Chains A and B, each alone.
Chain A
Amino acid sequence: MNLKKWVVSGVIAFILYMLFLRLTDAGFIANFIAYISLFVIAGQGWNLLGGYIGEISFGHAVFFGIGAYTVGLPVGYKLDINLLLLVLLGALMAGIFALIISYPLLRVQGFPFLVGTYGLGVVIRSIVVVTPALFATRGIFISTYSKNFTYPLIIGFAIAVVIFVQWLVNQDLGLRFKAVRDVPTAARMIGINIYKTKASAFVIGAMLTGLAGGLFALYGGFVNPSACFGDNTSIFILLGPYIGGIGSVLGALFGSTIVIILQEVARSVITVNGGHYLMVGALLVVVMMLSKEGIYPGIVKLVKKIKNAYQKRQGE
Protein backbone atom coordinates (compact mmCIF):
# COMPACT_ATOMS: atom_id res chain seq x y z
CA MET A 1 0.00 0.00 0.00
CA ASN A 2 1.52 3.33 -0.99
CA LEU A 3 1.53 6.35 1.27
CA LYS A 4 -1.37 8.01 -0.54
CA LYS A 5 -3.58 5.02 0.27
CA TRP A 6 -2.45 5.14 3.89
CA VAL A 7 -3.42 8.81 4.09
CA VAL A 8 -6.80 8.20 2.42
CA SER A 9 -7.46 5.23 4.74
CA GLY A 10 -6.49 7.38 7.72
CA VAL A 11 -8.81 10.19 6.73
CA ILE A 12 -11.69 7.73 6.21
CA ALA A 13 -11.01 6.11 9.58
CA PHE A 14 -11.03 9.51 11.26
CA ILE A 15 -14.30 10.54 9.61
CA LEU A 16 -15.91 7.22 10.59
CA TYR A 17 -14.77 7.67 14.18
CA MET A 18 -16.16 11.20 14.29
CA LEU A 19 -19.51 9.94 13.02
CA PHE A 20 -19.46 7.15 15.58
CA LEU A 21 -18.56 9.57 18.35
CA ARG A 22 -21.46 11.83 17.40
CA LEU A 23 -23.93 8.93 17.15
CA THR A 24 -22.95 7.28 20.43
CA ASP A 25 -22.37 10.49 22.34
CA ALA A 26 -18.80 9.50 23.28
CA GLY A 27 -19.93 6.25 24.87
CA PHE A 28 -18.00 3.19 26.01
CA ILE A 29 -16.80 1.99 22.60
CA ALA A 30 -15.66 5.46 21.51
CA ASN A 31 -13.79 5.68 24.81
CA PHE A 32 -12.31 2.24 24.34
CA ILE A 33 -11.11 3.01 20.80
CA ALA A 34 -9.36 6.10 22.17
CA TYR A 35 -7.74 3.96 24.88
CA ILE A 36 -6.57 1.40 22.29
CA SER A 37 -5.20 4.25 20.18
CA LEU A 38 -2.93 5.32 23.04
CA PHE A 39 -1.26 1.91 22.91
CA VAL A 40 -1.21 1.98 19.13
CA ILE A 41 0.85 5.18 19.31
CA ALA A 42 3.14 3.82 22.04
CA GLY A 43 3.43 0.47 20.23
CA GLN A 44 4.50 2.18 17.00
CA GLY A 45 7.16 4.01 19.00
CA TRP A 46 8.38 0.76 20.55
CA ASN A 47 8.30 -0.97 17.17
CA LEU A 48 10.79 1.50 15.68
CA LEU A 49 13.44 0.20 18.03
CA GLY A 50 12.21 -3.34 18.73
CA GLY A 51 10.92 -4.17 15.27
CA TYR A 52 13.01 -2.11 12.88
CA ILE A 53 16.33 -2.11 14.76
CA GLY A 54 15.87 -5.40 16.58
CA GLU A 55 16.65 -4.22 20.11
CA ILE A 56 13.94 -5.30 22.54
CA SER A 57 13.17 -2.64 25.13
CA PHE A 58 11.45 -3.67 28.34
CA GLY A 59 11.27 -0.17 29.74
CA HIS A 60 9.31 1.99 27.34
CA ALA A 61 6.98 2.96 30.20
CA VAL A 62 9.73 5.42 31.15
CA PHE A 63 9.03 7.47 28.02
CA PHE A 64 5.28 7.01 28.42
CA GLY A 65 5.61 8.28 32.00
CA ILE A 66 7.79 11.24 31.02
CA GLY A 67 5.17 12.27 28.47
CA ALA A 68 2.37 11.89 31.01
CA TYR A 69 4.21 13.73 33.79
CA THR A 70 5.24 16.57 31.47
CA VAL A 71 1.50 17.22 31.20
CA GLY A 72 0.75 16.41 34.83
CA LEU A 73 3.49 18.28 36.71
CA PRO A 74 2.76 21.83 35.47
CA VAL A 75 -0.90 21.19 36.30
CA GLY A 76 0.11 19.90 39.74
CA TYR A 77 2.12 23.09 40.30
CA LYS A 78 -0.83 25.15 39.02
CA LEU A 79 1.09 26.58 36.07
CA ASP A 80 -1.22 27.87 33.41
CA ILE A 81 0.21 26.23 30.32
CA ASN A 82 -1.79 25.00 27.36
CA LEU A 83 -2.31 21.24 27.73
CA LEU A 84 -1.83 20.53 24.05
CA LEU A 85 1.49 22.31 24.17
CA LEU A 86 2.43 20.17 27.16
CA VAL A 87 1.55 16.99 25.24
CA LEU A 88 3.96 18.00 22.49
CA LEU A 89 6.53 19.06 25.08
CA GLY A 90 6.13 15.63 26.69
CA ALA A 91 7.10 13.96 23.43
CA LEU A 92 10.10 16.26 23.19
CA MET A 93 11.16 15.58 26.80
CA ALA A 94 10.92 11.82 26.23
CA GLY A 95 13.08 12.22 23.13
CA ILE A 96 15.69 14.29 24.98
CA PHE A 97 15.80 11.76 27.81
CA ALA A 98 16.17 8.93 25.28
CA LEU A 99 19.01 10.78 23.59
CA ILE A 100 20.86 11.15 26.90
CA ILE A 101 20.26 7.59 28.03
CA SER A 102 21.02 6.15 24.59
CA TYR A 103 24.73 6.77 25.06
CA PRO A 104 25.22 4.16 27.81
CA LEU A 105 22.25 1.95 26.88
CA LEU A 106 23.00 1.46 23.20
CA ARG A 107 26.57 0.42 23.94
CA VAL A 108 25.08 -2.99 24.71
CA GLN A 109 22.78 -5.08 22.58
CA GLY A 110 20.48 -8.07 22.78
CA PHE A 111 19.68 -9.43 26.22
CA PRO A 112 21.88 -6.94 28.13
CA PHE A 113 19.97 -4.13 26.40
CA LEU A 114 16.66 -5.68 27.43
CA VAL A 115 17.82 -5.95 31.05
CA GLY A 116 19.24 -2.43 30.90
CA THR A 117 15.94 -0.94 29.75
CA TYR A 118 14.06 -2.92 32.41
CA GLY A 119 16.49 -1.61 35.03
CA LEU A 120 15.99 1.92 33.75
CA GLY A 121 12.23 1.49 34.21
CA VAL A 122 12.69 0.30 37.79
CA VAL A 123 15.05 3.16 38.66
CA ILE A 124 12.89 5.92 37.19
CA ARG A 125 9.69 4.56 38.74
CA SER A 126 11.41 4.30 42.13
CA ILE A 127 12.63 7.87 41.86
CA VAL A 128 9.13 9.14 41.04
CA VAL A 129 7.58 7.10 43.87
CA VAL A 130 9.88 8.53 46.55
CA THR A 131 10.09 12.12 45.33
CA PRO A 132 7.53 14.45 46.93
CA ALA A 133 8.32 17.11 44.31
CA LEU A 134 6.96 14.66 41.72
CA PHE A 135 3.86 14.08 43.90
CA ALA A 136 5.20 10.61 44.80
CA THR A 137 2.47 7.95 44.92
CA ARG A 138 -0.34 10.51 45.27
CA GLY A 139 -0.40 11.25 41.58
CA ILE A 140 -1.80 14.37 39.94
CA PHE A 141 -5.35 15.13 38.83
CA ILE A 142 -5.64 17.02 35.58
CA SER A 143 -8.73 18.95 34.61
CA THR A 144 -8.67 18.03 30.98
CA TYR A 145 -10.65 18.78 27.83
CA SER A 146 -14.06 17.32 27.09
CA LYS A 147 -14.31 13.79 25.69
CA ASN A 148 -15.57 15.20 22.40
CA PHE A 149 -12.26 16.95 21.98
CA THR A 150 -9.86 14.50 23.67
CA TYR A 151 -11.00 11.35 21.90
CA PRO A 152 -10.76 12.72 18.33
CA LEU A 153 -7.44 14.27 19.30
CA ILE A 154 -6.08 10.88 20.35
CA ILE A 155 -7.50 9.15 17.26
CA GLY A 156 -6.08 11.89 15.03
CA PHE A 157 -2.64 11.54 16.58
CA ALA A 158 -2.81 7.72 16.34
CA ILE A 159 -3.65 7.89 12.63
CA ALA A 160 -0.95 10.50 12.04
CA VAL A 161 1.63 8.40 13.92
CA VAL A 162 0.79 5.23 11.95
CA ILE A 163 1.12 7.13 8.66
CA PHE A 164 4.31 8.84 9.85
CA VAL A 165 5.94 5.52 10.83
CA GLN A 166 4.89 3.92 7.54
CA TRP A 167 6.46 6.87 5.71
CA LEU A 168 9.59 6.85 7.88
CA VAL A 169 10.44 3.17 7.45
CA ASN A 170 10.45 3.61 3.69
CA GLN A 171 12.74 6.64 3.79
CA ASP A 172 16.54 6.37 3.77
CA LEU A 173 16.59 6.50 7.57
CA GLY A 174 14.07 3.67 7.81
CA LEU A 175 16.10 1.59 5.36
CA ARG A 176 19.13 2.21 7.58
CA PHE A 177 17.16 0.86 10.54
CA LYS A 178 16.42 -2.35 8.62
CA ALA A 179 20.00 -2.63 7.37
CA VAL A 180 21.33 -2.45 10.94
CA ARG A 181 18.82 -5.08 12.03
CA ASP A 182 19.49 -7.42 9.09
CA VAL A 183 23.32 -7.41 8.96
CA PRO A 184 25.17 -4.91 11.16
CA THR A 185 28.57 -5.73 9.59
CA ALA A 186 27.29 -5.13 6.07
CA ALA A 187 25.51 -1.99 7.27
CA ARG A 188 28.81 -0.59 8.54
CA MET A 189 30.39 -1.51 5.22
CA ILE A 190 28.06 0.83 3.35
CA GLY A 191 28.86 3.70 5.70
CA ILE A 192 26.13 3.35 8.30
CA ASN A 193 27.04 4.51 11.80
CA ILE A 194 25.37 1.82 13.89
CA TYR A 195 25.19 3.82 17.11
CA LYS A 196 23.70 6.92 15.46
CA THR A 197 21.16 4.85 13.56
CA LYS A 198 20.04 2.97 16.66
CA ALA A 199 19.93 6.22 18.62
CA SER A 200 17.73 7.80 15.92
CA ALA A 201 15.23 4.94 16.19
CA PHE A 202 15.42 5.05 19.98
CA VAL A 203 14.81 8.81 20.17
CA ILE A 204 12.02 8.94 17.56
CA GLY A 205 10.37 5.89 19.16
CA ALA A 206 10.66 7.45 22.62
CA MET A 207 9.07 10.66 21.35
CA LEU A 208 6.10 8.71 20.00
CA THR A 209 5.76 6.79 23.25
CA GLY A 210 6.07 10.08 25.16
CA LEU A 211 3.31 11.50 22.96
CA ALA A 212 1.12 8.54 23.93
CA GLY A 213 1.91 9.24 27.59
CA GLY A 214 0.92 12.90 27.25
CA LEU A 215 -2.33 11.95 25.57
CA PHE A 216 -2.92 9.36 28.28
CA ALA A 217 -2.77 12.18 30.83
CA LEU A 218 -5.44 14.05 28.89
CA TYR A 219 -7.49 10.89 28.40
CA GLY A 220 -7.55 9.77 32.03
CA GLY A 221 -7.23 13.14 33.73
CA PHE A 222 -4.90 11.55 36.25
CA VAL A 223 -1.27 10.46 36.34
CA ASN A 224 0.49 8.36 38.95
CA PRO A 225 3.69 6.25 38.98
CA SER A 226 2.09 2.82 38.65
CA ALA A 227 -0.16 3.75 35.71
CA CYS A 228 2.52 5.68 33.84
CA PHE A 229 5.85 4.12 34.82
CA GLY A 230 4.63 0.62 35.75
CA ASP A 231 5.97 -2.67 34.37
CA ASN A 232 2.50 -3.45 33.04
CA THR A 233 2.61 -0.37 30.87
CA SER A 234 5.96 -1.50 29.42
CA ILE A 235 4.61 -4.99 28.86
CA PHE A 236 1.46 -3.86 27.06
CA ILE A 237 3.41 -1.40 24.92
CA LEU A 238 5.74 -4.17 23.69
CA LEU A 239 3.17 -6.97 23.52
CA GLY A 240 1.13 -5.28 20.80
CA PRO A 241 3.88 -5.17 18.18
CA TYR A 242 5.24 -8.50 19.38
CA ILE A 243 1.94 -10.34 18.98
CA GLY A 244 0.83 -8.40 15.90
CA GLY A 245 4.06 -8.65 13.95
CA ILE A 246 7.35 -7.17 14.94
CA GLY A 247 8.85 -4.83 12.35
CA SER A 248 5.54 -4.20 10.62
CA VAL A 249 3.44 -1.05 10.94
CA LEU A 250 0.16 -2.89 10.35
CA GLY A 251 1.30 -5.73 12.60
CA ALA A 252 1.93 -3.34 15.47
CA LEU A 253 -1.42 -1.67 14.80
CA PHE A 254 -3.35 -4.97 14.86
CA GLY A 255 -1.33 -6.33 17.76
CA SER A 256 -1.89 -3.33 20.03
CA THR A 257 -5.59 -3.44 19.21
CA ILE A 258 -5.88 -7.18 19.88
CA VAL A 259 -3.90 -7.06 23.13
CA ILE A 260 -5.91 -4.21 24.64
CA ILE A 261 -9.25 -5.71 23.56
CA LEU A 262 -8.26 -9.08 24.94
CA GLN A 263 -7.07 -7.53 28.16
CA GLU A 264 -10.40 -5.80 28.71
CA VAL A 265 -12.43 -8.88 27.74
CA ALA A 266 -10.33 -11.02 30.07
CA ARG A 267 -10.72 -8.47 32.85
CA SER A 268 -14.51 -8.73 32.60
CA VAL A 269 -14.48 -12.56 32.34
CA ILE A 270 -11.80 -13.41 34.90
CA THR A 271 -12.65 -11.53 38.05
CA VAL A 272 -9.68 -12.75 40.10
CA ASN A 273 -7.27 -9.85 40.65
CA GLY A 274 -4.64 -9.95 37.87
CA GLY A 275 -6.24 -13.06 36.36
CA HIS A 276 -6.64 -11.38 32.98
CA TYR A 277 -2.89 -11.66 32.45
CA LEU A 278 -3.46 -15.40 32.11
CA MET A 279 -5.40 -14.83 28.90
CA VAL A 280 -2.87 -12.37 27.47
CA GLY A 281 -0.03 -14.75 28.34
CA ALA A 282 -1.88 -17.66 26.73
CA LEU A 283 -2.37 -15.59 23.56
CA LEU A 284 1.34 -14.86 23.44
CA VAL A 285 2.16 -18.57 23.77
CA VAL A 286 -0.33 -19.53 21.04
CA VAL A 287 0.90 -16.82 18.66
CA MET A 288 4.54 -17.76 19.19
CA MET A 289 3.70 -21.42 18.55
CA LEU A 290 1.68 -20.78 15.41
CA SER A 291 3.51 -17.82 13.91
CA LYS A 292 6.75 -16.66 15.48
CA GLU A 293 6.68 -13.54 13.35
CA GLY A 294 3.31 -12.50 14.79
CA ILE A 295 -0.33 -12.51 13.74
CA TYR A 296 -0.17 -10.12 10.79
CA PRO A 297 2.79 -11.70 8.93
CA GLY A 298 1.19 -15.09 9.70
CA ILE A 299 -2.05 -14.02 8.05
CA VAL A 300 -0.19 -12.54 5.06
CA LYS A 301 1.69 -15.83 4.59
CA LEU A 302 -1.49 -17.86 4.91
CA VAL A 303 -3.32 -15.71 2.36
CA LYS A 304 -0.35 -16.03 -0.02
CA LYS A 305 -0.34 -19.80 0.44
CA ILE A 306 -4.08 -20.08 -0.24
CA LYS A 307 -3.73 -17.78 -3.26
CA ASN A 308 -0.88 -19.87 -4.68
CA ALA A 309 -2.78 -23.12 -4.08
CA TYR A 310 -5.85 -21.64 -5.78
CA GLN A 311 -3.83 -20.44 -8.77
CA LYS A 312 -2.16 -23.86 -9.05
CA ARG A 313 -5.55 -25.53 -9.02
CA GLN A 314 -6.86 -23.14 -11.65
CA GLY A 315 -3.84 -23.98 -13.81
CA GLU A 316 -4.58 -27.70 -13.61
Chain B
Amino acid sequence: MAILEVRDLKKSFGGLEVFAGVNISIEKDQIYGIIGTNGAGKTTLFNIICGVLRADQGSVLFNGEDISKKPTHKIAELGIGRCFQTVMPFKSMTPLENVRVARATAGKKNKEREKFSIDEIMEITNLTDKMHIKTQELSLPDKKNVEIARALACNPEIILFDEVSCGLSGEEIYSRMELMKKLSKMGITVVVVEHIMLFIKEICDQVSVLHSGKVICSGTPQEVARDAGVIEAYLGGKSNENIGS
Protein backbone atom coordinates (compact mmCIF):
# COMPACT_ATOMS: atom_id res chain seq x y z
CA MET B 1 0.00 0.00 0.00
CA ALA B 2 1.18 3.51 -0.78
CA ILE B 3 2.17 5.57 2.24
CA LEU B 4 1.02 8.77 0.56
CA GLU B 5 -1.42 9.04 -2.28
CA VAL B 6 -2.78 12.09 -4.04
CA ARG B 7 -5.97 11.34 -5.99
CA ASP B 8 -7.47 13.47 -8.72
CA LEU B 9 -6.37 16.71 -7.06
CA LYS B 10 -7.79 19.94 -8.44
CA LYS B 11 -6.89 23.42 -7.26
CA SER B 12 -7.37 26.89 -8.69
CA PHE B 13 -6.41 30.34 -7.43
CA GLY B 14 -9.10 32.57 -8.92
CA GLY B 15 -8.89 32.00 -12.64
CA LEU B 16 -5.53 30.26 -12.48
CA GLU B 17 -5.83 26.50 -12.54
CA VAL B 18 -2.85 25.02 -10.70
CA PHE B 19 -3.94 21.37 -10.64
CA ALA B 20 -6.35 19.79 -13.08
CA GLY B 21 -6.44 16.29 -11.64
CA VAL B 22 -3.08 15.34 -10.18
CA ASN B 23 -2.44 11.72 -9.17
CA ILE B 24 0.69 10.66 -7.30
CA SER B 25 1.35 7.49 -5.35
CA ILE B 26 4.39 7.22 -3.07
CA GLU B 27 5.51 3.87 -1.70
CA LYS B 28 6.98 3.47 1.77
CA ASP B 29 10.75 3.98 2.24
CA GLN B 30 11.15 5.49 -1.22
CA ILE B 31 12.95 8.67 -2.06
CA TYR B 32 10.42 10.30 -4.30
CA GLY B 33 11.19 13.35 -6.42
CA ILE B 34 8.73 15.92 -7.69
CA ILE B 35 9.99 18.24 -10.39
CA GLY B 36 8.47 20.86 -12.58
CA THR B 37 9.13 24.27 -14.01
CA ASN B 38 8.57 27.43 -11.95
CA GLY B 39 4.90 27.81 -11.08
CA ALA B 40 4.11 24.16 -11.78
CA GLY B 41 2.61 23.87 -8.29
CA LYS B 42 5.23 21.82 -6.46
CA THR B 43 5.07 23.88 -3.25
CA THR B 44 1.27 24.16 -3.58
CA LEU B 45 1.15 20.36 -3.68
CA PHE B 46 3.13 20.20 -0.43
CA ASN B 47 0.86 22.84 1.09
CA ILE B 48 -2.21 20.77 0.21
CA ILE B 49 -0.66 17.56 1.55
CA CYS B 50 0.14 19.36 4.82
CA GLY B 51 -3.27 20.98 5.13
CA VAL B 52 -1.94 24.52 4.78
CA LEU B 53 -4.13 24.84 1.67
CA ARG B 54 -7.34 23.00 0.84
CA ALA B 55 -7.85 21.32 -2.51
CA ASP B 56 -10.94 22.24 -4.52
CA GLN B 57 -11.45 18.59 -5.35
CA GLY B 58 -9.71 15.27 -4.85
CA SER B 59 -8.15 13.68 -1.82
CA VAL B 60 -4.87 13.04 -0.04
CA LEU B 61 -4.48 9.64 1.58
CA PHE B 62 -1.84 8.94 4.21
CA ASN B 63 -1.53 5.25 5.08
CA GLY B 64 -4.96 4.82 3.49
CA GLU B 65 -6.58 7.51 5.64
CA ASP B 66 -8.07 10.57 3.98
CA ILE B 67 -6.27 13.57 5.50
CA SER B 68 -7.49 16.20 3.06
CA LYS B 69 -9.87 17.76 5.61
CA LYS B 70 -7.58 17.50 8.62
CA PRO B 71 -5.91 20.56 10.16
CA THR B 72 -2.15 20.91 9.71
CA HIS B 73 -1.22 20.09 13.30
CA LYS B 74 -3.20 16.82 13.14
CA ILE B 75 -1.46 15.91 9.89
CA ALA B 76 1.90 16.55 11.55
CA GLU B 77 0.84 14.34 14.46
CA LEU B 78 0.07 11.53 12.00
CA GLY B 79 3.70 11.55 10.92
CA ILE B 80 4.23 13.97 8.04
CA GLY B 81 7.21 16.27 8.52
CA ARG B 82 8.22 19.17 6.31
CA CYS B 83 11.15 21.43 5.46
CA PHE B 84 10.24 24.69 3.76
CA GLN B 85 11.57 26.31 0.59
CA THR B 86 12.00 29.59 2.46
CA VAL B 87 13.64 28.60 5.71
CA MET B 88 11.34 28.94 8.69
CA PRO B 89 13.19 28.03 11.87
CA PHE B 90 11.89 29.44 15.14
CA LYS B 91 14.43 32.24 15.07
CA SER B 92 14.15 33.43 18.66
CA MET B 93 15.04 29.95 19.90
CA THR B 94 18.24 27.97 19.81
CA PRO B 95 18.51 24.88 17.54
CA LEU B 96 18.17 22.73 20.65
CA GLU B 97 14.93 24.49 21.61
CA ASN B 98 13.63 24.12 18.03
CA VAL B 99 14.17 20.39 18.34
CA ARG B 100 12.87 20.21 21.91
CA VAL B 101 9.56 21.83 21.04
CA ALA B 102 9.09 19.52 18.04
CA ARG B 103 9.90 16.48 20.16
CA ALA B 104 7.41 17.63 22.79
CA THR B 105 4.55 18.01 20.30
CA ALA B 106 4.32 15.79 17.20
CA GLY B 107 7.37 13.85 18.40
CA LYS B 108 5.56 12.92 21.61
CA LYS B 109 2.53 11.64 19.68
CA ASN B 110 4.79 9.51 17.48
CA LYS B 111 7.04 8.25 20.29
CA GLU B 112 6.82 4.64 19.09
CA ARG B 113 8.49 5.67 15.82
CA GLU B 114 11.43 7.40 17.48
CA LYS B 115 14.63 6.64 15.54
CA PHE B 116 16.94 9.35 16.85
CA SER B 117 17.53 10.88 20.25
CA ILE B 118 17.86 14.67 20.42
CA ASP B 119 21.65 14.34 20.65
CA GLU B 120 21.72 12.11 17.57
CA ILE B 121 19.56 14.59 15.65
CA MET B 122 21.97 17.36 16.55
CA GLU B 123 24.88 15.26 15.43
CA ILE B 124 23.53 14.15 12.05
CA THR B 125 22.47 17.69 11.21
CA ASN B 126 25.85 19.11 12.24
CA LEU B 127 24.35 21.30 14.93
CA THR B 128 26.01 19.91 18.03
CA ASP B 129 28.44 22.83 18.29
CA LYS B 130 25.78 25.41 17.58
CA MET B 131 22.84 24.08 19.53
CA HIS B 132 22.88 26.90 22.10
CA ILE B 133 23.24 29.79 19.63
CA LYS B 134 20.10 31.77 18.74
CA THR B 135 18.90 30.46 15.36
CA GLN B 136 18.60 33.97 13.93
CA GLU B 137 22.38 34.29 14.29
CA LEU B 138 23.10 31.16 12.24
CA SER B 139 24.04 30.95 8.56
CA LEU B 140 21.53 29.85 5.89
CA PRO B 141 22.85 26.26 5.68
CA ASP B 142 22.65 25.96 9.47
CA LYS B 143 19.11 27.36 9.49
CA LYS B 144 18.21 24.71 6.91
CA ASN B 145 19.78 22.12 9.16
CA VAL B 146 17.65 23.37 12.04
CA GLU B 147 14.56 22.76 9.91
CA ILE B 148 15.69 19.24 9.09
CA ALA B 149 16.49 18.61 12.75
CA ARG B 150 13.07 19.92 13.75
CA ALA B 151 11.31 17.71 11.21
CA LEU B 152 13.26 14.66 12.45
CA ALA B 153 12.35 15.46 16.05
CA CYS B 154 8.67 14.96 15.12
CA ASN B 155 9.44 11.25 14.55
CA PRO B 156 7.85 11.36 11.10
CA GLU B 157 7.07 8.50 8.75
CA ILE B 158 7.59 10.77 5.79
CA ILE B 159 9.39 14.10 5.31
CA LEU B 160 8.62 16.57 2.54
CA PHE B 161 11.74 18.51 1.51
CA ASP B 162 10.95 21.63 -0.48
CA GLU B 163 14.02 22.73 -2.47
CA VAL B 164 16.30 21.93 0.40
CA SER B 165 19.43 22.50 -1.72
CA CYS B 166 18.49 26.08 -2.65
CA GLY B 167 21.31 28.49 -1.76
CA LEU B 168 23.74 25.77 -0.66
CA SER B 169 27.25 24.93 -1.85
CA GLY B 170 28.07 21.68 -3.66
CA GLU B 171 29.47 20.11 -0.51
CA GLU B 172 26.42 21.08 1.52
CA ILE B 173 24.11 19.69 -1.15
CA TYR B 174 26.05 16.45 -1.17
CA SER B 175 25.77 16.11 2.62
CA ARG B 176 22.00 16.54 2.37
CA MET B 177 21.80 13.91 -0.33
CA GLU B 178 23.66 11.52 1.96
CA LEU B 179 21.34 12.40 4.83
CA MET B 180 18.27 11.67 2.72
CA LYS B 181 19.67 8.32 1.67
CA LYS B 182 20.34 7.55 5.33
CA LEU B 183 16.81 8.52 6.34
CA SER B 184 15.35 6.35 3.60
CA LYS B 185 17.43 3.39 4.75
CA MET B 186 16.16 3.96 8.29
CA GLY B 187 12.56 3.68 7.15
CA ILE B 188 11.64 7.32 6.68
CA THR B 189 10.03 8.02 3.32
CA VAL B 190 11.50 11.10 1.66
CA VAL B 191 9.70 13.32 -0.84
CA VAL B 192 11.87 15.92 -2.54
CA VAL B 193 10.94 18.94 -4.60
CA GLU B 194 14.06 20.06 -6.41
CA HIS B 195 15.29 22.17 -9.29
CA ILE B 196 18.69 20.51 -9.46
CA MET B 197 18.18 17.46 -11.67
CA LEU B 198 21.47 15.92 -10.64
CA PHE B 199 20.13 15.84 -7.09
CA ILE B 200 16.97 14.06 -8.26
CA LYS B 201 18.84 11.64 -10.52
CA GLU B 202 21.33 10.80 -7.80
CA ILE B 203 19.00 9.95 -4.95
CA CYS B 204 15.41 9.39 -6.15
CA ASP B 205 13.83 6.00 -6.70
CA GLN B 206 10.81 7.49 -8.46
CA VAL B 207 10.07 10.88 -9.96
CA SER B 208 6.89 12.68 -11.03
CA VAL B 209 6.93 15.68 -13.33
CA LEU B 210 4.32 18.39 -12.81
CA HIS B 211 3.45 20.51 -15.80
CA SER B 212 0.40 22.56 -16.75
CA GLY B 213 -1.60 21.30 -13.78
CA LYS B 214 -0.97 17.61 -14.43
CA VAL B 215 1.58 14.90 -13.81
CA ILE B 216 2.99 14.46 -17.31
CA CYS B 217 5.37 11.65 -16.44
CA SER B 218 6.20 9.30 -13.57
CA GLY B 219 8.96 6.74 -13.36
CA THR B 220 12.59 6.28 -12.46
CA PRO B 221 14.84 9.33 -12.97
CA GLN B 222 16.27 7.71 -16.11
CA GLU B 223 12.82 7.04 -17.58
CA VAL B 224 11.73 10.58 -16.83
CA ALA B 225 14.87 12.06 -18.41
CA ARG B 226 14.12 10.18 -21.65
CA ASP B 227 10.44 11.06 -21.75
CA ALA B 228 9.53 13.14 -24.79
CA GLY B 229 6.86 15.13 -22.89
CA VAL B 230 9.34 16.09 -20.18
CA ILE B 231 11.94 17.12 -22.74
CA GLU B 232 9.32 19.21 -24.49
CA ALA B 233 8.28 20.87 -21.21
CA TYR B 234 11.83 21.57 -20.07
CA LEU B 235 13.70 22.22 -23.27
CA GLY B 236 11.06 22.99 -25.84
CA GLY B 237 11.67 19.79 -27.78
CA LYS B 238 15.45 19.49 -27.83
CA SER B 239 16.36 16.04 -26.66
CA ASN B 240 18.96 15.90 -23.92
CA GLU B 241 19.78 12.93 -21.75
CA ASN B 242 21.35 15.14 -19.06
CA ILE B 243 18.58 17.63 -18.44
CA GLY B 244 19.74 20.19 -15.93
CA SER B 245 22.79 18.22 -14.86
Q: Which residues of A contact B (CB under 8 A)?
A: 172, 175-176, 178-179, 181-183, 185-194, 247
Contacts and interface: CB of A to CB of B under 8 A. Distances in A.
Q: Which of A185, A186, A189, A192 has the most CB of B within 10 A?
A: A189
Interface in B63-114: 71-73, 76-77, 81-82, 84, 88-93, 97, 100-102, 104-107, 109
A194 B73 CA distance: 8
B101 A193 contact: no
Nearest to B79: A191
Contact of A186 (B88, B92, B97): B88
Contact of A176 (B52, B92, B105, B154): B105
Contacts of A175: 90, 93, 97, 100-101, 104
A193 B70 CA distance: 12
A25 B52 CA distance: 61
Given A172-B100, A183-B89, 9 more contacts: A172-B101, A175-B97, A175-B100, A183-B88, A185-B88, A190-B101, A190-B106, A190-B150, A191-B105
Contact of A172 (B76, B91, B104, B153): B104
Interface of B: 50-52, 71-73, 76-77, 81-82, 84, 88-93, 97, 100-102, 104-107, 109, 147, 150-151, 153-154
SS class, residues of chain A in contact with chain B: helix
24 contacts: A172-B100, A172-B105, A175-B101, A176-B101, A178-B92, A178-B97, A179-B93, A179-B101, A182-B92, A182-B93, A183-B90, A185-B72, A185-B84, A186-B84, A186-B90, A186-B150, A189-B50, A189-B76, A190-B102, A190-B105, A190-B107, A190-B153, A191-B106, A247-B92
Contacts of B153: 190
Given A172-B100, A189-B50, A190-B150, A182 B90 contact: yes
